[in-house]
Structure 1
Amino acid sequence: MKHKIYFYLLIFVSLIALYQFVSTNNMVKAKNSQIVAQSEKLQKLEDSIQKLHLKVLDNQYFSLENNDDALAYYDHLQLNDPTLYVSDKLLETNESKGDNPLIPYEGMESDFKINKIKVLNHKWILADFSDGKYWGELLVKYELKDNLGVDFSLIDHLLYTRSH
């Protein structure tokens, strides 16, 4: 009788061990598949980050901040941020009553004002303007003088025919 109890106990323990082995094996497989899926997601994110980084570098190519040759023109002025200074001076032209004097169009919904500015180098600016419904772009030539005055002159312009 004692022998049968040990035998049944051995079978019971073996079944528990088999259950634990199968259960653990299934859990390991599930976790491994999750790790592989997460690794694939991580690789896609890293690829996206790399693409965005390259795009940012491309967008920064035409900018005064990243153009040492253009910045050299302003070394003697000791400006901390020539781009910000020139942008602020251009935005000051918005303060006049009516349309901005650099914009060769009359506002249809309200006055045309400059919204966004991209200082390309030590001579040119690309600017976006709008009256709230209609918009366009300007190519502006500028000269930053030794007395920190800035002269702006319009090179070219366009007005989009559809409102956004």
Structure 2
Amino acid sequence: MTASDSTGRDERRVTLTRDSEGHYTVRNDRGGSVTTSSGTDELSPVELLLAGIAGCTAVDVDTVTTRRAEPESFEIEVSADKVKDEQGNHLKDIEITFRVRFPDDEGGDKARAILPSLVRRSHEEFCTVSRTVMLGADVTATIE
């Protein structure tokens, strides 16, 4: 659950618990969960970041285009180069590729017409995940 207070703060939170060595479950306050690990078939933490970008921009674009036409196909691929350099481990050159097809009718034409604008606005304004990556955010760690 998110909590807005009088300062306008809208906190988001997840909690990770260790299931076994190298295997973890991440839960939100609403009861949703996802497992993660490294070196297995599960999504790695880096892939979860890319999935967050894909999911965030998908919601922005799908919500509006679907009001005009149900897509025949809707796929977003997010890729990046993982590098280790003088700044440590990080991702470079994150690319988001939309593969969206709409029916060949009036509704599909309307959805296709607004698609470029929605993709641009998601990238430049709406998608909290990619905007945070692009703008940067302070990250702190504490031990309790």
The structure where helix makes up a greater share of residues is 1
Structure ranking higher on relative contact order (CA contacts 8 Å, 6+ apart): 2
The structure where strand makes up a greater share of residues is 2
User: Does TM, scored on the shorter chain, surpass 0.5?
Assistant: no
Larger radius of gyration: 1
Pick the TM interval, shorter chain.
under 0.3
